[in-house]
Amino acid sequence: MQSIVPSRRIKSFGRVGGRPLSPLQARLVETELSKFQILEVEEGFSPISIDDSKKEVWFEIGFGGAEHLINQAKANSDVLFIGAEPFLEGVAKAMRAIDSEKITNIRLINGDARPILENFQNACLDRIFILFPDPWPKARHHKRRLINDEFINLLARITKKGAKIRFASDWANYAEEALACFIKNPAFSWNAQSQKDWNIPPEDHFTTRYQAKKLGDCEPIFLDFTRL
């Protein structure tokens, strides 16, 4: 069965190329990536089938330099992590850490997460991270942002009851827009009780390289949601 990919999909990310890979990164991508890579899945795919010895499946969309993905996987060895990143250099960085630290509980997607997620079976993910996605700050580009009503509906379908979703951004209007999308969807509740719940990084968060660059127009905003 072929993977179902909607036609004329609007890209939610920009360039996917950058500096040349180092010789080590290039070797790992060429010789080792296939052991960890997910290329496509059939409709109704169950991600826990990748390794059913794990108790949960967590998914990170756009893992960038992989700092957060790698640290979460090391801190939660009983969880299967799937990370999607269209930027090849980010995938190469993940592979270097996987190789050097002998990490076995990560699988990688070098590309858009959406075609894979759309083929996942219902209620199969326990946690999702969407950390500092491309903000597309110009108003005319807002349609390219990952978070919209259609995507939130997809997240509602593929997450289990009680699943956690974390969105973070350092662009104020993107955080506001994402919050509005989540709270108007009856499948999710926002967990914040006070301002510190979105202004202070959660205890289980690992700082990303992008976050440290402070490229946005505000301090990082962390929004945690629960699937009802």
Domains, the chain, with CATH or none:
23-227 (3.40.50.150)
How far apart are the C-alpha atoms of 218 and 208, rounded to whole Å? Answer: 16
* Phi then psi dihedrals of residue 224, to 5 deg: -105, 130
How far apart are the C-alpha atoms of 159 and 126, rounded to whole Å? Answer: 6
What's the burial of 40, exposed, middle or buried (CB within 10 Å: 0-12/13-18/19+)? middle
The predicted model scores a pTM of: 0.91
Instruction: Decide if 134 is catalytic.
Output: yes
Mean pLDDT to the nearest integer, 206-218: 94
How far apart are the C-alpha atoms of 204 and 42, rounded to whole Å? Answer: 33
Question: 56 with 123: CB under 8 angstroms?
Answer: no
- List b or e across 179-190, with b for residues whose CB sees 16 or more CB atoms inside 10 angstroms: bebbeebebbee
How far apart are the C-alpha atoms of 169 and 46, rounded to whole Å? Answer: 29
Question: 103 with 66: CB under 8 angstroms?
Answer: no
pLDDT (0 to 100) of residue 1: 34
* Confidence category of residue 10, pLDDT binned at 50, 70, 90: low
Pick the catalytic residue from 112, 134, 170, 224. 134
pLDDT (0 to 100) of residue 11: 58
